[in-house]
Structure 1
Amino acid sequence: MRRSAATPAPMCRRSRSMRNSRRWSCPTRPASSNTPWSCPSTDLIDPQCPGDRQRVRFCPMSLLARLSETVGDAFEAAGVDRSYGTVVVSKRPDLGQFQCTGALAAARSVGRNPREIAQTVINALTATEMFAAVSIAGPGFINLTLTDAAITAVTQAAVDDERCGCTLVERPVRYIVDFGGPTVAKAMHVGHLRSTIIGDSLQRLLRFLGHDVTSDIHMGDWGTQMGMLIIEVERRYPDLPYFDASFSGPYPTESPVTLDDLHEMYPTVAARVAEDEAEAERARRATTELQNGRPGYRALWQHFANVSISAQRADFEALGVKFDLWYGESTVHDRIAPLLERIKSSGRAVISDGALVVPVAEEGDQMDIPPMLLTKSDGSYLYTTTDLATLDQRITELKAEDILYVVDARQALHFIQVFRAARLTGIVPDDVALEHIAFGTMNGTNGKPFKTREGGVLKLKDLIAMVTDAALARLAEARIAESYPDEERAAIAKAVGLAALKFGDLSNHRTSNYVFDLDRFSSF
């Protein structure tokens, strides 16, 4: 669990999309834009082709890219650079489906009237039956509306293409998608839903585009919460061998606790630690001994991890989500000490009140950016420390070029600190992109983070059951699949419920908070 703060999300150092962008060209089209286009795909009218009906063969590609190329041709014919022909979806659908504002910028570059340029472009575009309407608005905005036949042809071309008209990137990028996963010893709850759905969408899209993607759940499994659970298990079961420093093993292969046990234990011990400094010190000492390799604590911790991962795998599988790596903070523990020595030798780390920190504030910051804490005054590590070690691993071992962190927007300050410290200390080179994919919270109808009626955090498996039941009810209301076997109806309801859950989440703006309304989500 990383620190949270309601601060703006850090932006990536550079744009990969710009580096991979290129002007689209059909491999069978001659280089000159004035020669007929012959490409084996769906027919559409085009002014470049001869005959009674001028035709274009629609290669699988983005409709906006195709329109931009067509309008770019018209700009070029008008004597200005074709790059001014970029087409976007119109913000004024009452004027047209698409819009090009390039005439205004083109006019400034060549010293001509923008409406004159726009009219010349329109004259070229109206020569094709591709457009139902082309018009000028304001100082030179070009509004475009396609014919039904054109839209049908584009749609059919995408349907006929196994990639739905999406071309592969020219140079794949090695991406790491970090899901900021759940903490060991805690059941997955609705708070994990958005990172899971958004992160899975990203990894699927990037893979579809042809990138080299590695997804990492990145579990929280190495912090003070582990020490707290160790002392709580010892308090309840003091005779277990894990707490006998003289015991040489082997330790039991079966876990003494279940995930439900851990889920119940954690708030109990957390409350006691918050009130009792002696207990807090015991938890810190247990955490340090765990991280230093005490055999009994390591064996007990492994049980915590095993029962947690087993349950969490089931939850992720229910959502149809898979990870390439099930790494946690513990994975990089052995890298921390040598990494800290490298950071010290870089001259970027300083001692402040006994703690080791990296100052990361920059001139021009619009908010206070405190130094990033590497070690506490007692020498213990923090989440910032393990995050830097994880970055080091991803650069040196996984050869990452672009690292995406799909984590709640409230943790933005943490990522500003980590990203800046990683750059300053040389852990992450300038040609590797880092980006916090921040998202808003899923709230209840009261506008607060979604809770159960009893006020607790709703478990993810219970949420999945809720949407499945809602889908079953809708099937019954609509009298759909009444003759199907109960098992098949249940499978349909689960698939529909999960689809509604994912669509309901993704239909909201990523960075906005939204209200989870089961009735609205299931109104299909």
Structure 2
Amino acid sequence: MKTVIELITEELEVAFTKAGVDTSYAKVNISNRPDLCEYQCNGAMAAAKALKKAPFMIADDVVANLQDSKLFSKIESVKPGFINMTVSPEFITGYVNEMAKTEKFGYVNAEGNKTVIVDYGGANAAKPLHVGHLRSAVIGESVKRINNYVGNKTIGDVHLGDWGLQMGLIIEELRDRKPDLCYFDESYTGEYPSEAPFTISELEEIYPAASKKSKEDTDEGRVFKERAHLSTLKLQQGDKACRALWHHIMTISKADLKKNYDNLNVSFELWKGESDAQPYIEEMVDKMIADGIAHESQGAIVVDIQEETDSKELPPCIVRKSDGAALYATSDLATLVEREKLYSPDAYVYLADKRQELHYTQFFRAAKKAGIVKPDANLTFVGFGTMNGKDGKPFKTRAGGVMRLEHLIADINEAVYNKVKDNRDVSDEEAKNISKIVGLAALKYGDLSNQASKDYVFDVDRFASFEGNTGPYILYTIVRIKSIINKYIEQGGKVEAGAILPTDKDSQKALSLSLVKFADVIDSAYHDNAPHRICQYIYEVSNAFNGFYHDTKILAEENASLKAGYVSLLDLTKRVLETCIDLLAFECPERM
């Protein structure tokens, strides 16, 4: 289904041709002056120089060729050469009727389907999720869902940090706390237990204690850190005892992480980690050296990534340290090797803090230079800003520590719960169920409504408000629409897609004009990995609906056909909003 802008553009192209003007000038935009018109074309201004003719004369000729068009109720040439257009109620109503009956409301992915890997987890094993993990998970889940919606086969990977020094630290702290475990008995030759010798609560206490101990500037601290390095090395070299403990750590960590990601309505198709890339590293680096892609520099093996077009000097990508150790870039490159082998994707999207941009530039360029991916491979880095407190600094607990994500969710749920109890007479159980759904919407919309690269202030009171540009406001709009439709059905009415009638109501047209932007918004959000555009769109649609609702006696309308048309328009609005919030990865309760 063509978009409204495409249909108007086609109409203008015919008119431009008749006026002797190249069709490339017939570009149509949504008007930035809605008080004057709905759509606008400035092509006459651009064509004036080429045609050596006054722009208003060109615009006059084009408009003269469009006087009989059924698309417009008004089209005029405005000096110095603008073409202002207002579409007819019949045209826009016909379009929304077609939208209502068409799969995906008329959206078509012109590029065809692809296989896309979205890397948006980045959590570390043995550590609980905290507020620093929020943006990657929330934005990444939405990017994945948008890719799925447009028809791509999309694979989300949590890409756990599970192979670094933290593992050695945990193993050595366990040794100090539970020295009698069989894993630390060098003479032990039996099978290691299938049950972990610790709980998730113990594990969450063990890692910070070990990390603190390793940073102490004492002989004991230095010795402990050296022991942790040795255990990490033994783990990576395949020591059976270390591997057995590592498997316990991973089993318990994954179960806890999945529970917490579930609470965010975030899921992954792959639960792979840095450890999965290890078998590919040695061969990959050796091939880079043999192919002349990597070379020795001050004892390390590096890949030069500088390009002639760079405005500043970029350091090389180190793939092997002087002591033989691998780095994050090495692991990321080897992960690409595995992903190419197993999935052969057409595109990759990586989400991480925007301060890691250099790392991704190095790693992407090294991957292409080494032939790990094709030269034209689509490798995209979506760098996000920081979630800050009201003081403008990175969000912390009142005590100044990093807040666990489950505590943040609990805080916003409580804020919503209090508002629900204040506004409605509902049971505690229902209020808690509502607050869980609405609280997640408040949290996610509060994040996603900001452009990913921008920092933003986390404000529980503002995010949980039922008014303004918030998640609860969007949900309240959907609940209101559901309530009207349910009452209509109770009165014996039937909801039919495509039964909307044209009227002269400005509020109905405003709602229709908002709805018809759907395909363009989805396409833009998809190509730019920009969920915030969907947030902007549903806020606009919600405002337009509420304007229509306050302006129209929907269920009191005496004309049955007109009433049925109103309800069909509401049904389309509801379905569009529900589709969009699903792309943002939250849901709507039955009532609020």
- The AA in structure 2 aligned to 1:499 is A
Q: Does 1:523 align with 2:523?
A: no
Residues 256-267 of structure 1 mapped to structure 2, 5 A cutoff: 256-267=197-208
Residues 354-433 of structure 1 mapped to structure 2, 5 A cutoff: 354-433=299-378
1:261-303 CA distances to partner (integer Å, 9 max, x unpaired)? 3333333322332334433332222211111111111111111
State the partner residue of 2:144: 203
Higher mean displacement: 351-360 or 101-110: 101-110
Give 1:354 deviation, angstroms. 1.7
Conserved? CA contact 2:8–2:71, under 8 Å: no
State the partner residue of 2:230: 285
> d(CA) in 2 for partners of 1:232 and 1:309?
20
Give 1:517 deviation, angstroms. 0.5
1:40-76 CA distances to partner (integer Å, 9 max, x unpaired)? xxxxxxxxxxxxxxxxxxxx44333333333333333
Q: Does 1:333 align with 2:278?
A: yes
Higher mean displacement: 156-165 or 321-330: 156-165
Give 1:478 deviation, angstroms. 1.9
Q: Does 1:220 align with 2:166?
A: no
- The AA in structure 2 aligned to 1:521 is F
State the partner residue of 2:447: 505
Give 1:133 deviation, angstroms. 4.6
Task: Give percent identity, aligned residues only.
Answer: 43
> d(CA) in 1 for partners of 2:442 and 2:96?
24
Residues 109-124 of structure 1 mapped to structure 2, 5 A cutoff: 109-124=50-65
Residues 73, 266 of structure 1: CA spacing in aligned structure 2 closer, same or farther, 3 A cutoff? farther
1:347-397 CA distances to partner (integer Å, 9 max, x unpaired)? 121222222111212234233321111112211111111100111122222
Q: Does 1:477 align with 2:418?
A: no
> d(CA) in 1 for partners of 2:91 and 2:416?
37
Residues 166-315 of structure 1 mapped to structure 2, 5 A cutoff: 166-169=107-110, 171-274=112-215, 275=217, 276-315=221-260
1:90-128 CA distances to partner (integer Å, 9 max, x unpaired)? 344454443333333434454444333333333344533
- The AA in structure 2 aligned to 1:311 is D
> d(CA) in 2 for partners of 1:143 and 1:235?
77
Find the partner of 2:288 among 322, 343, 367.
343
Residues 292, 150 of structure 1: CA spacing in aligned structure 2 closer, same or farther, 3 A cutoff? same
State the partner residue of 1:164: 105
Give 1:409 deviation, angstroms. 0.7
Secondary structure of the 1:164 match is helix
Ranges in structure 2 where 5+ consecutive residues have no aligned partner = 467-592
State the partner residue of 2:40: 99
State the partner residue of 2:297: 352
Secondary structure of the 2:231 match is helix
> d(CA) in 2 for partners of 1:452 and 1:258?
25
State the partner residue of 1:87: 28
TM-score, normalisation: structure 1: 0.82
Residues 491, 223 of structure 1: CA spacing in aligned structure 2 closer, same or farther, 3 A cutoff? same
Residues 157, 473 of structure 1: CA spacing in aligned structure 2 closer, same or farther, 3 A cutoff? farther
Give 1:341 deviation, angstroms. 1.3
Ranges in structure 1 where 5+ consecutive residues have no aligned partner = 1-59
1:478-515 CA distances to partner (integer Å, 9 max, x unpaired)? 22xx35x5434322221111112222111111210000
Secondary structure of the 2:270 match is coil
Give 1:430 deviation, angstroms. 1.4
**Aligned-pair Cα RMSD in Å:** 2.3
> d(CA) in 2 for partners of 1:223 and 1:140?
64
Find the partner of 2:437 among 490, 495, 508.
495
Conserved? CA contact 1:443–1:449, under 8 Å: yes
> d(CA) in 1 for partners of 2:13 and 2:187?
78
Residues 372, 125 of structure 1: CA spacing in aligned structure 2 closer, same or farther, 3 A cutoff? same
Residues 489, 99 of structure 1: CA spacing in aligned structure 2 closer, same or farther, 3 A cutoff? same
Residues 486, 352 of structure 1: CA spacing in aligned structure 2 closer, same or farther, 3 A cutoff? same
TM-score, normalisation: structure 2: 0.73
Higher mean displacement: 95-104 or 421-430: 95-104
1:245-269 CA distances to partner (integer Å, 9 max, x unpaired)? 4433311222223333333333332
Secondary structure of the 1:374 match is strand
State the partner residue of 1:27: none
Secondary structure of the 2:318 match is strand
Secondary structure of the 1:182 match is coil
Displacement over 6 Å in runs of 4+: none
> d(CA) in 2 for partners of 1:67 and 1:239?
78
Conserved? CA contact 1:360–1:371, under 8 Å: yes
- The AA in structure 2 aligned to 1:261 is E
Give 1:414 deviation, angstroms. 0.5
Residues 65, 193 of structure 1: CA spacing in aligned structure 2 closer, same or farther, 3 A cutoff? farther
Find the partner of 1:434 among 374, 379, 397.
379
State the partner residue of 1:322: 267
> d(CA) in 1 for partners of 2:20 and 2:169?
72
> d(CA) in 2 for partners of 1:436 and 1:150?
41
Conserved? CA contact 2:113–2:152, under 8 Å: yes
> d(CA) in 1 for partners of 2:369 and 2:268?
30
1:305-357 CA distances to partner (integer Å, 9 max, x unpaired)? 11111111112222222211111111111111111111111212122222211
- The AA in structure 2 aligned to 1:76 is T
- The AA in structure 2 aligned to 1:522 is A
Give 1:137 deviation, angstroms. 5.6
Residues 70-81 of structure 1 mapped to structure 2, 5 A cutoff: 70-81=11-22
> d(CA) in 2 for partners of 1:76 and 1:504?
47
State the partner residue of 1:12: none
> d(CA) in 2 for partners of 1:365 and 1:282?
43
Find the partner of 2:69 among 125, 128, 132.
128
Conserved? CA contact 2:369–2:375, under 8 Å: no
Give 1:152 deviation, angstroms. 4.5
> d(CA) in 2 for partners of 1:127 and 1:382?
68
Residues 225, 432 of structure 1: CA spacing in aligned structure 2 closer, same or farther, 3 A cutoff? same
- The AA in structure 1 aligned to 2:295 is V
- The AA in structure 1 aligned to 2:179 is P
> d(CA) in 1 for partners of 2:402 and 2:81?
54
Residues 457-468 of structure 1 mapped to structure 2, 5 A cutoff: 457-468=402-413
Higher mean displacement: 490-499 or 92-101: 92-101
Conserved? CA contact 1:409–1:440, under 8 Å: yes
Higher mean displacement: 368-377 or 247-256: 247-256
> d(CA) in 1 for partners of 2:28 and 2:251?
53
State the partner residue of 1:443: 388
> d(CA) in 2 for partners of 1:147 and 1:225?
65
> d(CA) in 1 for partners of 2:132 and 2:66?
50
Conserved? CA contact 1:439–1:511, under 8 Å: yes
Secondary structure of the 2:191 match is coil
Secondary structure of the 2:68 match is coil
